[in-house]
């Protein structure tokens, strides 16, 4: 008997007991859907966490936070990082340690200033939305949202910000800032007396818009020469506000080393797969580092354990459903004993008889897996659609935008269908084996 004929035989027999087959397929589908939906929660939460962790960060980025025997990194450390294999760029930044006041006509903005090394920043992906990079020491680049921080305010009286922390519309700056000259005011305190000095800077470039909507970049990227002028004025490293004449115990910055150091150093690998190797290399040298990749490895391990546990729990539901398949197949063998007797009487191979019943149990399992998968996708869609609304209504707080409570990757679907098929085939093995042992005479006399 050919396989096509065996399959037709199975379908014909299944149609004779539609209700029983339907209930068996339904139980299998419910078990498969339960497995997929349960595991999809771990997949969805992991996907959301990974997206949140990697938003605004590069997978090839390694942050270096100092070394065992010293806190700050120097140009020697930078040169060592640059000598490592698979390193594309090493950026280094210093921060002005006071919030400078920037004035454009009658508009004012108080914020941070960063000293960057543009060649390495460009290699690492630093981009402008308008303008160009600075070519002289008094030229600067400003963050994409710098203009939004300018307010028609003299620094006294009621602040110009609304309840959302944004400059009120009637006080906000609506003009262009590119190619405009701004005045930067910095302060120093000496013998309890505060003094202010002004620096004129020309805006020649505007940074690229941040990748996330909630991010705001209002920084001003100044040159090392400007920072040196500020340090000369304040007498403190990185323009710290403090009395340089104070005792060192009260003001450690006043006796800072003349060696140039960096507040922030980042290594950029040429590929995400190189990050771990570079991280291990610099850790062996005593550097403290952090990368999203290394943190994701730990997080993925936790989620792998969680997903394995949930898939195991879901598999139990399929095993329970397989009891129904076992009963259905056992009943099928009993009811078809005369047919089996006839088949054996005309010379049917026992393996063929066994295969027919295994095809039937597999067919039931496949139907259950397919219907269960469709139901699981529907449930997953509804959960992601309505659960945020339910949580918002019940607790008054909305989950983060684009947060996924359930996600069904193709791998989960294939795993679930495979588990379902294996379990159903195993549950049909014993009834199929019993069919091959049916006595022909008893079967013909309907005594089985």
Nearest to 20 by CA among 399, 334, 417, 341: 334
Longest dimension (CA), the chain: 116
CA–CA separation, 306 and 323 (whole Å) = 27
When mean pLDDT is compared across 273-277, 343-347, 429-433, the lowest value belongs to 343-347
When mean pLDDT is compared across 82-91, 106-115, 173-182, 184-193, the lowest value belongs to 184-193
Pseudo-torsion of CA 360, 30, 377, 415, nearest 10°?
Answer: -60
Mean pLDDT of 391-397: 74
Q: Which two tokens stand for residue 276?
A: 């771990």
Give residue for tokens 């945020």.
388
Mean pLDDT of 220-249: 83
pLDDT given at position 59: 76
Q: Which two tokens stand for residue 313?
A: 């729990």
* Measured CA distances, 316 to 48, 198, 422 (Å): 27, 73, 13
Q: Which two tokens stand for residue 80?
A: 């060592």
Angle subtended at Cα 184 by Cα 134 and Cα 144, rounded to the nearest 5 degrees: 55
pTM for the predicted model, two decimal places: 0.62
Q: Is 201's pLDDT higher than 90?
A: yes
- How many C-beta atoms surround the C-beta of residue 250 within 10 A? 9
When mean pLDDT is compared across 58-67, 97-106, 160-169, 312-321, the lowest value belongs to 160-169
pLDDT band at 447 (very low <50, low <70, confident <90, very high): low
Spatial contact of 270 and 60, defined as CB atoms under 8 Å apart? yes
Give residue for tokens 């998968």.
373
Angle subtended at Cα 146 by Cα 140 and Cα 147, rounded to the nearest 5 degrees: 110
pLDDT given at position 255: 47
CA–CA separation, 448 and 438 (whole Å) = 8
pLDDT given at position 56: 56
pLDDT given at position 238: 86
Mean pLDDT of 308-319: 88
Please report which helix (H) or strand (E) contains residue 120, including its range.
helix 118-123
CA–CA separation, 194 and 188 (whole Å) = 6
CA–CA separation, 400 and 405 (whole Å) = 11
* Measured CA distances, 93 to 59, 193, 266, 338 (Å): 20, 30, 9, 86
Mean pLDDT of 270-284: 87
CA–CA separation, 38 and 27 (whole Å) = 16
Q: 335: helix, coil or strand?
A: helix
CA–CA separation, 160 and 171 (whole Å) = 7
Mean pLDDT of 197-219: 87
The alpha carbon of 230 is separated from its chain's Cα centroid by a whole number of angstroms, namely 41
* Measured CA distances, 350 to 361, 437, 440 (Å): 17, 8, 12
pLDDT band at 245 (very low <50, low <70, confident <90, very high): low
pLDDT given at position 338: 81
């Amino acid at each position: 008997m050919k396989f096509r004929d065996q399959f037709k035989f199975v379908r014909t027999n299944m149609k004779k007991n539609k209700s029983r087959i339907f209930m068996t397929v339904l139980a299998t589908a419910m078990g498969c859907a339960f497995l997929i939906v349960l595991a999809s929660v771990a997949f969805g939460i992991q996907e959301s966490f990974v997206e949140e962790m990697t938003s605004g960060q590069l997978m090839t980025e390694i942050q270096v936070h100092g070394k065992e025997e010293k806190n700050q990194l120097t140009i020697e450390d930078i040169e060592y990082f640059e000598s490592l294999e698979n390193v594309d760029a090493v950026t280094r930044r210093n921060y002005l340690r006071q919030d400078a006041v920037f004035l454009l006509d009658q508009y004012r903005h108080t914020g941070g200033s960063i000293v960057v090394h543009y060649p390495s920043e460009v290699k690492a992906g630093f981009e402008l939305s308008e303008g160009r990079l600075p070519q002289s020491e008094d030229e600067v680049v400003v963050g994409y949202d710098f203009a939004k921080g300018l307010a028609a305010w003299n620094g006294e009286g009621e602040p110009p910000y609304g309840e959302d922390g944004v400059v009120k519309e009637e006080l906000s700056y609506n003009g262009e800032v590119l190619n405009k000259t701004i005045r930067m005011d910095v302060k120093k305190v000496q013998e309890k007396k505060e003094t202010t000095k002004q620096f004129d800077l020309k805006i020649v470039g505007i940074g690229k818009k941040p990748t996330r909507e909630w991010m705001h970049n209002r920084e001003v990227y100044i040159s090392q020469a400007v920072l040196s002028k500020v340090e000369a004025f304040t007498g403190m490293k990185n323009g710290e506000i403090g009395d340089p004449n104070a005792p060192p115990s009260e003001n450690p910055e006043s006796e800072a080393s003349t060696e140039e150091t960096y507040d922030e150093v980042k290594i950029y690998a040429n590929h995400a797969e190189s990050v771990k190797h570079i991280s291990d290399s610099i850790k062996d040298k005593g550097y403290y580092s952090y990368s999203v990749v290394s943190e994701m490895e730990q997080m993925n391990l936790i989620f792998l354990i969680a997903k394995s546990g949930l898939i195991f729990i879901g598999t139990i539901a399929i095993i329970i459903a397989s009891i129904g398949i076992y009963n259905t197949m056992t009943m099928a063998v009993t009811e078809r004993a005369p047919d089996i007797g006839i088949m054996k009487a005309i010379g049917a191979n026992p393996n063929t008889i066994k295969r027919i019943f295994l095809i039937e149990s597999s067919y039931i399992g496949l139907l259950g897996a397919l219907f269960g998968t469709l139901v699981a996708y529907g449930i997953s869609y509804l959960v992601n659609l309505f659960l945020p609304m339910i949580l918002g209504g019940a607790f008054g707080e909305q989950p983060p935008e684009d947060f996924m409570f359930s996600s069904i990757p193709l791998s989960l679907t294939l795993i679930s269908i495979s588990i379902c098929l294996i379990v159903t085939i195993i549950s049909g093995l014993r009834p199929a084996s019993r069919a091959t042992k049916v006595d022909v005479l008893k079967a013909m006399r309907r005594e089985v």
